[in-house]
Chain A
Amino acid sequence: MSAVPDMDAARTDAARSDAARPGPPLWLLLELTYRCPLHCAFCYNPADFARSGTELDTGEWIKVLREARALGAVQLGLSGGEPLARDDLETLVAEAHALGFYINLITSGVGLNEPRIRALKEAGLDHIQLSFQDSSRQMNDFLSSTRTFELKSKVAALIKKYEYPMVLNVVLHRLNIDHVQEILEMAHRMGADYVELANTQFYGWAWHNREQLMPSRAQVERAEEATRRFRERTDHAMRIFFVVPDYFERRPKPCMNGLGSIFLTVTPDGTALPCHAARMLPGLSFPNVKSSSLEHVWFESQAFNHFRGYEWMKEPCRSCPEKTRDFGGCRCQAYLLTGDAANADPVCDLSPHHHLVTEATARAEQAPAAAGQSHPSADAKPVEKPLIFRSPANSSNLFP
């Protein structure tokens, strides 16, 4: 899914009102289930998901939808895991539609047959974001550790047939980033309205596979150039979002527009988070929607208030004039790399820990060239250290 929702106007508003009462949680992301038929090595789900509690039932999700809408939430992401694994998805979509949400289904496509896509349309689903792992069957199926390429291609045709706006999302990394041109051509053939080329962000499963997934700088530059050429050649017929890999930047991303600003995630067991990766952050006590109202979660809870404003910041952020623009970057990245979530995101070259990022990218320069050939091939898989694919078994192995 898109980690950085496109909320330009909201962003400006939220930045202005930091000291006052926070604005509404405009973006509600419901991770309906951690069940997923795919096993992607770059999944942002927590690697310890096997320890998660029981999924909320239909009535509990409907309560979340109603409370969030009353607070002013308007963009709804239905994600997972694979949200189609829930057989009450159509019921939830119908309720969300009646409440006035704009509803985005973020899916692998597995389980999206024609009767279901028609029922979801009738229930009021607005848009489908379909993930592909690469442009060829061989690499798609290797990277997702499943045989799903043909199925996804059929789903893409159904999305067009039922006249949904179609976003194709491809997470880029070392093993597929050299196929950007082929990926864009595939998306164009399928009639996608938008394409997200989202470079891997290193959380969850991707964090555990960081060494194998990190592209080289030359790969990133070639991919950007291929994207630019494709846009020109097709006269911008598709909107293409190229999400730059932040490890190669010198300033951090304004992650979530600052925690507790516009974004609210609810995990399958009802835990409310200010960002889908935030459960890793120590010292925050995350409320559960089964025992807390969303109004309490958003306005009162410690977890949502802790990183609001600028008081929590350390130097160099605290006195930095750019703090109102990037909010110190990503708290999860600061925690993963430096051990302290209140530090500056080490992507920033003003951070005393910036070397942790440059060392990681330098290692990628030295690693054997991967997937450089124009015809994708599973030869690209690294040999030294195997990828850890997302699965309940691997989750239990990592976190016994």
Chain B
Amino acid sequence: MSELSGAERPGIGRGFRLQWEAAQNAFVLLYPEGMIKLNASAGEILKRCDGAATIDEITASLEQAFSTRGLKSDVLAFVAMAHEKHWVALQ
């Protein structure tokens, strides 16, 4: 999983649905009979995983939105973890 490249295009995994839940003030991932409540940064990354944007583009979008730099290693680590858990698929 450490081989993940910035050119990969992650999308939400089959059988999962990403959704904003106002009652929980959070993004959640829904799947058969289960739910994962996401923290703010996980939600921000996953909502950009549309299967079209590359990890590099997702990183740039986050860095712009939060006026910061140097997020790539965090994004790569999160996407690797999310891929392992099938939350995202690589297109």
Residues of chain A whose beta carbon lies under 8 Å from any beta carbon of chain B: 2, 5-10, 13, 23-24, 26, 71-72, 74-75, 77, 100, 102, 104, 126-127, 129, 165, 167, 193-194
Contact A72 B32 (CB under 8 A): no
Chain B residues with CB under 8 Å of chain A are 14-15, 17, 19, 21-24, 28, 30-38
Known: A74-B30, A102-B30, A165-B14. A10 touches B23 (CB 8 A): no
Residue of B nearest to A12 (CB): B37
Contact assessment for B34 and A6 in the assembled complex, using a CB-CB cutoff below 8 Å? yes
Shortest beta-carbon distance, A198 to chain B, in Å? 12
Q: Which 4 A-B pairs have the closest CB atoms?
A: A72-B23, A9-B37, A6-B34, A102-B30
Query: Would B37 and A2 count as touching, CB distance under 8 A?
Result: no
Query: Once the chains are docked, how many angstroms separate the CA of A367 from the CA of B45?
Result: 56
Check A5–B34 contact: CB distance below 8 A: yes
Could you list 17 further interchain pairs (A-B, Cβ under 8 angstroms) beyond the known A127-B33, A193-B15? Answer: A5-B34, A6-B35, A7-B35, A9-B37, A10-B37, A13-B37, A23-B24, A71-B23, A74-B21, A75-B30, A75-B33, A75-B34, A104-B32, A126-B17, A127-B31, A165-B31, A165-B32
For the complex, give the distance between the alpha carbons of A10 and B23 in Å: 12
Complex interface: chain B residues within 8 A of A13 (CB): 24, 37
Assess whether A2 is in contact with B33, with CB atoms less than 8 Å apart: yes
- The verdict on A5 contacting B23 (CB below 8 Å), with A74-B28, A165-B14 known, is no
- Do most interface residues of chain B lie in helix, strand or loop, or is the interface mixed? strand
What are 20 A-B interface contacts by the 8 Å CB criterion? A5-B34, A6-B33, A6-B34, A7-B34, A9-B35, A10-B37, A24-B24, A72-B21, A72-B22, A72-B24, A74-B19, A74-B21, A74-B30, A75-B34, A126-B17, A127-B31, A127-B32, A129-B33, A165-B15, A167-B33
Q: How far is the CA of A56 from the CA of B37 in the complex (A)?
A: 32
Known contacts: A74-B19, A165-B14, A165-B15. The answer to whether A26 contacts B32 by CB under 8 A is no
* Known A102-B30, A165-B14, A193-B15; contact A75-B23, beta-carbon cutoff 8 A: no
Known: A9-B37, A24-B24, A165-B14. A100 touches B19 (CB 8 A): yes
Tell me whether A129 and B24 are in contact in the complex, defined as CB-CB below 8 angstroms, given that A74-B19, A102-B17 are known contacts. Answer: no
Residues of A within 8 A of B36 (CB): 8-9
CB distance from B1 to the nearest CB of A (A): 15
Residues of A near B37 (CB, < 8 A) are 9-10, 13
- Set A10, A23, A167, A194: member contacting B35, Cβ < 8 A: A10
Query: In the complex, A126→B21 CA distance in Å?
Result: 17
Which residue in chain B gives the minimum CB-CB distance to A128? B32
Output the least CB separation between A174 and chain B (Å).
26
For the complex formed, measure the closest distance between the CB of B11 and the CB atoms of chain A, giving whole angstroms.
16
| B15 in contact with A74 (CB, 8 Å) | no
- For B20, give the chain A residue with the smallest CB separation: A100
* Residues B32 and A74 in contact, CB atoms below 8 Å apart: no
